[in-house]
Amino acid sequence: TTKTIQSALISVFSKDGLEPIVRKLHEQNVTLYSTGGTEDFIKNLGIPVVPVEDITSFPEILGGRVKTLHPKIFGGILNRQDNESDVQQMKEFDIPQIDLVIVDLYPFEKTVASGASEQDIIEKIDIGGISLIRAGAKNFKDTVIVASVNEYSLLLDLITEQNGATTLENRRLLATKAFHVSSHYDGAIFNYFNTDETIYKESIDNGQVLRYGENPHQKGFFFGDFDAMFKKVHGKELSYNNLLDVDAAVNLINEFKTDGPTFAILKHNNACGLASRKTISEAYLAALACDPTSAFGGVLIANTKIDLATAQEINKLFCEVVIAPSYDDEAIAVLQEKKNRIILVQNEVELPSRQVRTCLNGLLIQDRNNITDTKEHLKTVTITEPTASEIEDLIFASKICKNTKSNTIVFAKNGTLISSGTGQTSRVDALVQAVDKAKAFGFDLTGASMASDAFFPFPDCVELAKKAGITAVIQPGGSIKDELSINYCNENNLAMVFTGTRHFKH
């Protein structure tokens, strides 16, 4: 798969940086083919060059619009050297082999930015050059494509250090970069032609039009394949906010895939109830008891089949969406009694590995947070070790914490979310909120476990936790003042474990 460059077609708008490459290629006896301006440039260096017209027997026409667009040029780039009929046709039509293609496209973006007239801009839409790039990149098995000045130094290295020999890996990498150049170039042309209004219409064509966005005065669209993830059995059309809650719900319940029957209730993307029990109906009732006020109008999700008993309980609650991997027929019948209630069957598919959101005038993309804290991740940092049941609760709390808006504090006990403080600007505020909520719903925090999405910069959180009755704490650790919190726990008989993994969610 190693190939040596013996011939090159060079067609560049900017001649900057070309000289050393041309000289090196010449030193290695590479035959050079070129177009008008580039040909002049090479000739002026005193280096022999064959004009493309000599290959095509056709002059450059239409004021330069057609220079390289010819089967003898594209045949030379696109032929497969291991294909007998290609090799035969190359001979039959007297097509010269082209091993290397170097292109620098007409500067479309620069011309737009200069405020040039539409006519000048359109003349700067490169046709032959972009085709050369695509052809060279498509045939990377045999051809080396250099589609940008940025790759000149890599090319120089290849011709200098490897005497013009390239590996398949080299060529594939250059092809990838070339497709990046061509897609960016076409993207720029698209952006020039599309005014805001047309882009908006495009969106409507390609996305699912929602009734409205986050609020009724905002337009909204969904781009995605909802049906790949869910089968909708019943209910009204999903709204923008429903979709966000469903997204939060499936991410949350994903943490409990291998646990026993687990039920979660979410509001505004955060869990306001979650419990694991022997049966799904018990899990539902325990989740609801956590915060029945917030559960009103919530999104409900189960990690196992919803049976009739559970459906009858759910039916007493006004809720927007119910999600489960499956339902008993009688359960569906009961849940369908409310006309608008959305019932979704969650398909067994992996959640996407990347997350995208807008940021300023662009996008942010990141990997999904796919670390779930397990017993193996825990390092006890206090004299007091957490008990076996505390360890279960710490992991349980941490899984909820990870899926709750930062700053977050989660209290849990016996496989039940007791309360949480969510989306607060300080961790202390989150903790105070969680304590107040637990009290408001009549829960006793004695012996409960606490999870924090990030480390404690000061010992104030463990102090407040102790006062509230918490006996075990899970947090990532890593603050320069970790010792202060550890010392307080040691003096006050609290168990604390570090996970080493921060779980911010903004």
Residues engaged in binding ligand 93A (CB under 6 A): 11-13, 35-38, 64-69, 103-106, 126-129
Q: Which of 390, 396, 393 is nearest to 493 (CA)?
A: 390
- The single residue of 15, 24, 141, 268 carrying the catalytic annotation is 268
Which one-letter amino acid corresponds to residue 70? H
Contact 159, 24 (CB under 8 A): yes
Q: How far is the CB of 506 from ligand 93A (least distance, A)?
A: 44
- In the complex with ligand 93A, which residue's Cβ is closer, 138 or 232? 138
**What would the DSSP string read from start to end of 56-114?**
HT---BGGGTBSS-SHHHHHHHH--TT-HHHHHHHHHTTPPP--EEEEE---HHHHHHT
Which one-letter amino acid corresponds to residue 18? L
Q: How far is the CB of 457 from ligand 93A (least distance, A)?
A: 56
Could you give the count of Cα atoms lying within 13 Å of 472 in the half-sphere of its Cβ? 27
Contact 171, 4 (CB under 8 A): no
Query: Which residue's entry shows tokens 């280096």?
Result: 47
Contacts 24+ apart (CB under 8 A), 398-401: 398/373, 398/451, 398/474, 398/499, 398/503, 399/252, 399/255, 399/256, 399/372, 399/373, 400/252, 400/255, 400/271, 400/274, 400/451, 401/451, 401/452, 401/453, 401/503
SS3 for 412?
A: strand
β 208-209/165-166 pair status: unpaired
List the end-to-end C-alpha distance of the chain, in Å, as a whole number: 48
Q: How far is the CB of 164 from ligand 93A (least distance, A)?
A: 22
Q: How far is the CB of 129 from ligand 93A (least distance, A)?
A: 2
Phi, psi of 181 (to 5 degrees): -60, -45
Q: How far is the CB of 211 from ligand 93A (least distance, A)?
A: 46
Q: How far is the CB of 71 from ligand 93A (least distance, A)?
A: 13
Contact 6, 99 (CB under 8 A): yes
- In the complex with ligand 93A, which residue's Cβ is closer, 184 or 201? 184
Q: How far is the CB of 194 from ligand 93A (least distance, A)?
A: 22
- In the complex with ligand 93A, which residue's Cβ is closer, 120 or 385? 120
- In the complex with ligand 93A, which residue's Cβ is closer, 65 or 368? 65
Distance CA 121, CA 115 (A): 9
DSSP state of 13: S
Q: Which of 401, 427, 445, 409 is nearest to 481 (CA)?
A: 427
Q: How far is the CB of 56 from ligand 93A (least distance, A)?
A: 10
- The single residue of 138, 141, 234, 338 carrying the catalytic annotation is 138
DSSP state of 209: E
- In the complex with ligand 93A, which residue's Cβ is closer, 65 or 379? 65
Q: How remote is the C-alpha of 113 from its chain's centroid? A: 30
Distance CA 112, CA 298 (A): 50
- In the complex with ligand 93A, which residue's Cβ is closer, 68 or 499? 68
Active site residue 180: no
- In the complex with ligand 93A, which residue's Cβ is closer, 188 or 371? 188
Q: Which of 408, 487, 421 is nearest to 455 (CA)?
A: 408
Q: Which of 453, 459, 447 is nearest to 502 (CA)?
A: 453
Q: How far is the CB of 167 from ligand 93A (least distance, A)?
A: 26
Active site residue 268: yes
Q: Which of 31, 29, 25, 30 is nearest to 52 (CA)?
A: 31
Q: Which stretch of DSSP H or E encloses residue 428?
A: helix 427-440
- In the complex with ligand 93A, which residue's Cβ is closer, 108 or 240? 108
- In the complex with ligand 93A, which residue's Cβ is closer, 155 or 474? 155
Residues forming the active site: 138, 268
